[in-house]
Amino acid sequence: MPELPELEVALRSMASCVTGRKISRVLVERERSIRTPREDKRAFARGLAGRSVRGIERRGKALLFHLSGGWAVVFHYKLGALAICRKQPVATTDGVAWNFEDGSALDFTDMQLSEFHLAHEEELGRLPVLKSGADPLTGSLTAKKLSALLPSKKQLKAALMDQYALGGIGNNYSDEILWNARLSPFRKVSELSGSELEELARQIKLTLRESIKAGGEEEFRDARGRRGRYREKVHRRAGQPCPRDGHKIEMIKRGRKTFWCPHCQK
């Protein structure tokens, strides 16, 4: 599932092929991905046609396309999708495609529960898909700010994944951040010392930035079709040696899977 780094990579790789382009025709093959207006592909296609893309931004795990005339489209990857820039118009798609007036296109394909919402800019605040907490990479994330944001009674992994506290961190990067910070995923936020909170705040930013630089995780492809090169240290590496000390990486499944090294994460 794409998280903050993959969304950031997607945004950067598609910005130049959509910004300033005018949408001429919209194809919707996967009708159930149109969530606002609900499964109404005609209204969605009509609402986009003739509008220009003024800009894109990331909000948590969603991409927000600002259109001319005060309208906006939200795209949420959910379990995954490939949003790819095409140099030619798209005639058929398995998902949703936006054809631009200049002959290029943006094709959303391989969608796994991904969703679109078309709304007026003033209505965006009402969309649950856009509700998320502070952005870990915007402004300065200090130890003090982090302890105010994270739910104190929760264990660290669950606290990092709480989208209403910090937006954009999921199952993958919560494991990676905690390994980098040498903290056990099962500690509670309230148990952390000042210096541990400081290190956690630092590693949140470093881990996310490291993955953005690498183009996201290996299963992810950006809008130009380039595969990510971020290699996980512990996530999905149960039974393999910890890259820090060689001890065996453990995995426990309680609803979701948690990966960690019991030797160096305290």
Q: Residues interacting with Zn ion, by CB under 5 A? A: 242, 244-245, 261, 263-264
Active site residue 232: no
Placement of tokens 């649950």 in the chain:
128
Of 122 and 245, nearer to Zn ion (C-beta) is 245
User: Which residue of the set 30, 61, 86, 237 is catalytic?
Assistant: 61
CA distances from 230 to 67, 165, 172, 233, 264 (A): 32, 25, 11, 9, 21
**What is 38-69 written as a DSSP string?**
TT-HHHHHHHHTT-BEEEEEEETTEEEEEEGG
| Shortest spacing between CB 225 and Zn ion, in angstroms | 35
Catalytic residue, from 3, 115, 176, 217: name it: 3
CA separation for the pair 106, 55 (Å, rounded): 14
Residue 36 to residue 236: CA distance in whole angstroms: 35
256 a catalytic residue: yes
As a whole number of angstroms, the distance between CA 69 and CA 121 comes to 9
Give 209 or 263: the residue with its C-beta nearer to Zn ion. 263
Query: Could you tell me the sign of the dihedral formed by the alpha carbons of 16, 19, 132, 30, in that order?
Result: negative
- Catalytic-residue membership of 86: no
**Active-site choice (57, 256, 257, 262):** 256
Residue 71's SS3 state is: strand
For residue 179, the minimal CB distance to Zn ion (Å) is: 7
Q: Contact 28/48 with Cβ under 8 angstroms?
A: no
Catalytic (active site) residue 61: yes
Nearest distance in Å: CB 146, Zn ion: 23
Identity of the residue, 238 or 264, whose beta carbon is nearer to Zn ion in the bound complex: 264
Catalytic hit among 2, 5, 136, 185: 2
Shortest Å, Cβ 237 to Zn ion: 11
Nearer to Zn ion, 36 or 265 (CB): 265
Residues belonging to the active site = 2-3, 61, 256
